[in-house]
Amino acid sequence: MKKILSLVLLMVVLVPIAYYFNKPSEEKKLDVLSPMDVNAEMVDSELRNIGRGHYIQDFEFFDQKNQRFQSSSIKDKIWVVEYFFATCKGICPIMNAQMQRVQSAHEKDTNVVILSFTVDPDQDTPEALGLYADEHGAIAGKWFFLTGEKSMLYELARKSFFLLKPAEAKNQGDAGGDFIHTNNFVLIDRDKQIRGYYDGTNPKEVDALILDVSRLKMD
């Protein structure tokens, strides 16, 4: 009887200990990123000392259906953002093949959208972007390809998303003669704040992005 009692007491002690050491650790919440957290080369000089309170500025462009697109139309949604151009033969096809994976992973969630801004609006008309969107299986209302005034597209990249080096953009007169842009995707939360950057040419980093979108849904 004593042996049974001893065994029961041992189990009472060991089971909670085993649970404690084997339970899943709590996932770390995604940080809110501000200009001070980003590579200074990607941040406009007037913003580099801002340590908190950075939000994506409002914008208005045209989408691949030649419809006026305002940021207010995706208020309270999670955004995945990139800059690209449709005639790019280098990293853009790789990036957008990966972006198709992001779309597929969150296809049914209307609160997750993808925004692909062009760096070459002279060539990337709504009609051209419409063809590109079709080629990449973009779902209407889910993946938006955006074009508009060149200076506004570049300002948004430099001062909101930090996806274009300011010095390079300015040296090119904001037009981006070589269409220099990064291979990064940027994750924006419902409050229009930056929550992460991911190499859009790296499948493992895109895996992390897909997971982080799901984590943001739980915030």
The total of structural domains in the chain comes to 1
> Across the strands, what pairs with 118?
84
Mean pLDDT in residue range 146-171: 82
pLDDT, position 169: 44
The burial of 53, by beta-carbon neighbours within 10 Å (0-12 exposed, 13-18 middle, 19 or more buried), is given as: exposed
Residue 5 domain flag: no
Residue 2 domain flag: no
Q: How confident is the model at residue 174 (pLDDT cuts 50, 70, 90)?
A: very low
Report whether pLDDT(139) > 80: yes
CB of 112 closer than 8 Å to CB of 131: no
Residue 9 domain flag: no
Mean pLDDT in residue range 19-46: 73
pLDDT, position 178: 45
Residue scoring higher pLDDT (180 or 172): 180
pLDDT, position 173: 41
Q: How far is CA 96 from CA 16, 83, 190, 201, 203, in A?
A: 48, 10, 23, 9, 12
Domain span at residue 134 reads 30-217
Strands (E), the chain: 60-62, 68-70, 78-84, 112-118, 143-146, 184-188, 194-199
Report whether pLDDT(83) > 60: yes
In the block, tokens 């853009």 appear at: 92
What tokens were used for 131?
Answer: 């063809």
Mean pLDDT in residue range 169-189: 65
Residue 10 domain flag: no
Mean pLDDT in residue range 201-215: 97
Share of the chain above pLDDT 70, in %: 80
Residue 143 domain flag: yes
Summarised one tens digit per residue, pLDDT across range 51-82 is 899 999 999 999 999 999 999 999 999 999 99
Q: Lowest-confidence range among 28-32, 77-81, 113-117, 150-154? A: 28-32
Residue 23 domain flag: no
Residue 71: enclosing H or E segment and its boundaries? Answer: none
d(CA 208, CA 159): 25
Residue 4 domain flag: no
- Of the candidates 81, 43, 50, 54, the one whose C-alpha atom is nearest the C-alpha of residue 167 is 43
Q: How confident is the model at residue 165 (pLDDT cuts 50, 70, 90)?
A: confident
Q: What is the CATH number of the domain that holds 170?
A: 3.40.30.10
CB of 152 closer than 8 Å to CB of 197: no
pLDDT, position 8: 43
Q: Which distant-in-sequence residues (6+ apart) come within 8 Å of 132 by Cβ? A: 64, 86, 124, 145
Q: What is the mean pLDDT of the chain?
A: 85
Residue 3 domain flag: no
* Half-sphere exposure at residue 166, Cβ-oriented, CA atoms within 13 angstroms: 17
Report whether pLDDT(175) > 90: no
